[in-house]
Chains A and B, each alone.
Chain A
Amino acid sequence: MKKTISTLFVAAVVALGLASSACAEDVKFVGVITKIEIAGKDAKTATATVKDNGSGTPVLVTVNDDLTLDKFKDHRIVEGDEIRCKYETAAGKNVSKLFRKTAGC
């Protein structure tokens, strides 16, 4: 009986966790990059600090997608650029789902 209850409890916790992660809403904002931290040419992740235009607060965004990382590495995206960002929060990190410069020609 005790085992059954603890199994059910674990299952409930897992289900709750899955449900809350499935419900995690994307956050969208536009802001200016104040800092890009990337460890070398072969880096698979980078952190960008972006000042939210709306609130004025700095947001730390983790960037993992190859396309954006490449743009950091060859300086197509640099500090001072305004970007449009969409991220979701997972394991305490704001993981980028979209990271685009707003400017064009």
Chain B
Amino acid sequence: MTRTTIVAAAFVLAASTAMAGEHFGRESIEKSGYQGPETCEECHPGTAKAFLDTVHWKHESKVTNVDGIDPKKPYGMKNRIYVMCNGNDIVNNLKEIPKSPETGKTKFSGCNTCHPGNHLSDVGSTGPEAEKAIDCLVCHSSDYDFSKRKPYKDEQGRIVMGQDRSTKAALAIGKPSVKNCMVCHEAAGGGYVVKRGFSFTKDTDVHAAKGMVCVDCHKAKHHKIPTGLDPNNWANDGVRISCADASCHGDKPHKDADLNRHIAKIACQTCHIPRTGGAFAKDFTVWTQTADKFYEPTTLKKEANETTPVYAWYNGTVANTPHFIGPKGSRKDGKSKIMPFKIFQGKAFYNAKSGELLSMDFAPPMASGDTRGGVESAARTLGLKNPEQVAKSAVPGWQTIYFGSNHLVTKGKALSCANCHAPNGVLNFKNLGYSDKEIVRLTTPELYLKQLVEKQKEEW
């Protein structure tokens, strides 16, 4: 048997095993157990090192579409200061918070609890130790025991994030399921659907109802995950996602030519994502005490699909000031489309001298409600001059953020002609830049009457 034949035979075997849904390395894992990434590397060499160069590991990337930041420097959850989180991986690093004065108890908390490392090798770390620390199974196993993924103190007093590296979990690996993604993404921002406002279930999203999983659209290559141009989701792996990809819906997704004409100016999401959810307001200056006597930021929130989005022109570039993060664009720039956004407003402390938004270390307010203590601690970590004075003189203020509304996709409950083309309809044409004369033309049944009458006949 020639070498080529052996390789070909192995390839066919691997392909048929994969098609049968069984991992090719199963036998080896059963025999030798699972030792972490080095086990994966036996068949996927170089993958661990490559993973260290992704946003999931670094929590930041260069960002070129946002005002007011340096396009040569990286930004993301690691270092951003804004009012959905107000902390970040640097100032609110996973730690044991001070004891509650009421109960004497402490707990672990930090923004980077979802980072797929072990905390000793943390956000953005590199080198052999970092490669060994990757928690491959938290994203790839369907039988991961999350009771093992908890922070604890090792014998040297260092905070370590536990991992399930059992053979049982390793034998259940495959393409990430919805659960693998949502275990982190649904709890971002301080609780269930708080940040993004969506769940991905058969009841809430037409893609999920068809049995699709997150990575069917967010199709990764070398662990680089394509994402959309959400005005508030800055860090990216340099690959983008679009409903209009030829392999998905293409540029003429409807049978009706009139609907297809809309695509030039109206994003798919505008009609097909008529609802949103999640947190709509938070106050980081006053925290609320919870049953365990610790404190959490005061938050107003709704379930997925319980609130309505706002609509604005968006050309993919982002306005970014201490009081506003949101879409830029207009009906006349030739690049913008009308898109839906989840509006969020957060109150936090601003620097009394510079007017810049300040960040917060959550440890002090979580333990005792001392929010200015959190500002002081963050200011110290970031090397600000006179952190005590910065915190003392800090001024409360609000920031408004437009989050992209890109999930909760519906076909059956999509907006129809009359939802927008009517007086006081879903779209506020005045705010979108249309003249009174244009609005009269845009809000009459004359536009769709004949067509919908025909459709009505077909339906009844």
- Taking Cβ atoms with an 8 Å cutoff, the residues of A that contact B are 30-32, 53, 67, 70, 74-76, 78, 82, 84, 98, 100-105
Contact = CB atoms under 8 A, between A and B. Distances in A.
Nearest to B193: A100
Contact of A75 (B147, B190, B191, B291): B147
A76 B178 CA distance: 14
Given A101-B192, A105-B114, A30 B291 contact: yes
Interface string B191-214: 110110000010000000000000
Contacts of A32: 291-292
Given A32-B291, A67-B201, A104 B191 contact: yes
A75 B292 CA distance: 20
B270 interface: no
A74 B146 CA distance: 6
B339 interface: no
Given A75-B147, A76-B146, A78-B147, A104 B188 contact: yes
A102 B191 contact: yes
B159 to A, nearest CB: 15
Contact of B291 (A53, A67, A78, A105): A53
B89 to A, nearest CB: 10
B113 interface: yes
Interface in B214-273: none
Contacts, number: 53
B96 interface: no
A90 B190 CA distance: 32
B91 interface: no
A100 B296 CA distance: 16
A46 to B, nearest CB: 16
A67 B452 CA distance: 39
A21 to B, nearest CB: 22
A74 B113 contact: no
B144 A74 contact: yes
Nearest to B110: A105
Contacts of B194: 104
B63 to A, nearest CB: 21
Contact of B179 (A31, A70, A78, A100): A70
Contacts of A105: 110-111, 113-114, 184, 187-190
24 contacts: A31-B291, A32-B291, A53-B290, A67-B201, A70-B179, A74-B143, A74-B144, A75-B145, A75-B147, A76-B146, A76-B183, A82-B291, A82-B292, A100-B192, A101-B192, A102-B191, A102-B192, A102-B296, A104-B187, A104-B190, A104-B191, A104-B192, A105-B110, A105-B184
Contacts of A101: 187, 191-192
Contacts of B303: 98
Nearest to A76: B146
Given A74-B143, A104-B192, A82 B187 contact: no
Contacts of B179: 70, 74
B15 to A, nearest CB: 30
A84 B291 CA distance: 12
Contacts of B144: 74
A29 to B, nearest CB: 11
A52 to B, nearest CB: 9
Nearest to A66: B201
Contacts of B111: 105
Contacts of B191: 100-104
Given A74-B143, A75-B147, A104 B291 contact: no
A7 to B, nearest CB: 37
Contacts of A78: 147
A103 B146 contact: no
Closest 7 CB pairs of A and B: A75-B147, A104-B187, A104-B191, A53-B291, A100-B192, A104-B190, A75-B146
A67 B192 CA distance: 13
Contacts of A98: 303
Contacts of B189: 104-105
A76 B190 CA distance: 15
A54 B231 CA distance: 39
Contacts of A103: 187, 190-191
A75 B162 CA distance: 14
Contacts of A53: 290-291
Interface in B99-155: 110-111, 113-114, 143-147
A102 B290 contact: yes
Nearest to A75: B147
Most buried by B among A32, A53, A103, A105: A105
A51 to B, nearest CB: 8
A74 B182 CA distance: 14
Interface string B294-310: 00100000010000000
